[in-house]
Every structure is written in structure tokens, then in C-alpha cells.
Amino acid sequence: MINYIHDILSETKDKQLKKERFSMKKYGENSRFRKLIYYILGVLEVLLAFRLVLKILGSNPENMFVNAIYTSSNIFLTPFSGIFSSVATEGIETNAVLEPAVIIAMIVYALIVYGIVKLIEIIINRSDSDLG
């Protein structure tokens, strides 16, 4: 009788350990995935922030660095172009431009990434609860 109870307890303990290992492995992968996604978002946000600041300060678009920022960020702004018109202010030497599409793109991309990460967490949590 005691051996039977011992076997049941050790079996239960083994199942719990397997579940914990499986859960830790999943969460570890989720954590790496989440960090990677947030890193990519960070790079995109910095690129768009550079564009916003360079446009507002009226930087020279013929400069190689400025041109590279404008060119590489253009593809990410395409879905948002035309929502609002850009506001330009003429100065003595430069033209400052405010592009609301950049601000909207930054917000929308951040919300999309947040939603993707939360969806992955929901799916992983659901599969963990299916184990038990």
C-alpha cells in the first residue's frame, strides 16, 4: 500500500516537473521572441524619430545621411501618407516640415507590436493550461 502511494506521488511529481520544464522552455523562447520583436520596433521607432526631427529642423535632403533616413523610412510611412497634410514653415535658410504621418506611424506600429506580443503570450498560456 505504501509503495502504491509512493508510486502515485512520484508519478504526479514527475508530471509536474515535466510541465514546469515545458513551461520554462516556452516562456524562455517567448522572452527571446518578445525581446527580438521589441528590438525591431525600437529600431523602427528610432528611424521614424530621426525623420521627424530632421524634417522639423529643416535639414538638407541632399545630405547623404539625411537622404538615407528619408529613403529608408519612406516605405514605413506609405500606409499613413495622406491621412493629414504636412505643415511647412518657410524660414530664412530652411523649410521646417511637420509630417503627422510619422507620428501616427510610430503610434500604430507600437500598438501592432504590443498586440502581437500579447497574442503570442495568450497562445502560449493557453497551450500551457492544456497540458495540466
* Residue 88 structural domain: 22-124
Give the chain's end-to-end CA distance (angstroms, integer).
Answer: 27
Asked whether residue 97 is domain-assigned, the answer is yes
In the block, which residue shows the cell 521607432? 45
Task: State the amino acid at position 94 in one-letter form.
Answer: T
Percent of the chain with pLDDT over 70: 73
Asked whether residue 129 is domain-assigned, the answer is no
Asked whether residue 81 is domain-assigned, the answer is yes
Per-residue exposure over 66-83, b if at least 16 CB sit within 10 Å of its own CB, e if not: beebbeebeebbeebeee
Task: State the amino acid at position 95 in one-letter form.
Answer: N
The domain tally of the chain equals: 1
What does the pLDDT look like over 52-108, one tens digit per residue? 999 999 999 999 999 999 999 999 999 999 998 888 888 777 888 999 999 999 999
Asked whether residue 131 is domain-assigned, the answer is no
Cα dihedral across residues 82, 78, 48, 120: positive or negative: positive
Whether the model clears a pTM of 0.85, i.e. scores above it, the answer is no
Asked whether residue 13 is domain-assigned, the answer is no
Asked whether residue 93 is domain-assigned, the answer is yes
pLDDT category of residue 37 using cuts at 50, 70 and 90: very high
Asked whether residue 53 is domain-assigned, the answer is yes
Q: How far lies 16's CA from each of 9, 11, 24, in Å? A: 11, 9, 12
Asked whether residue 10 is domain-assigned, the answer is no
DSSP symbol at 79: G
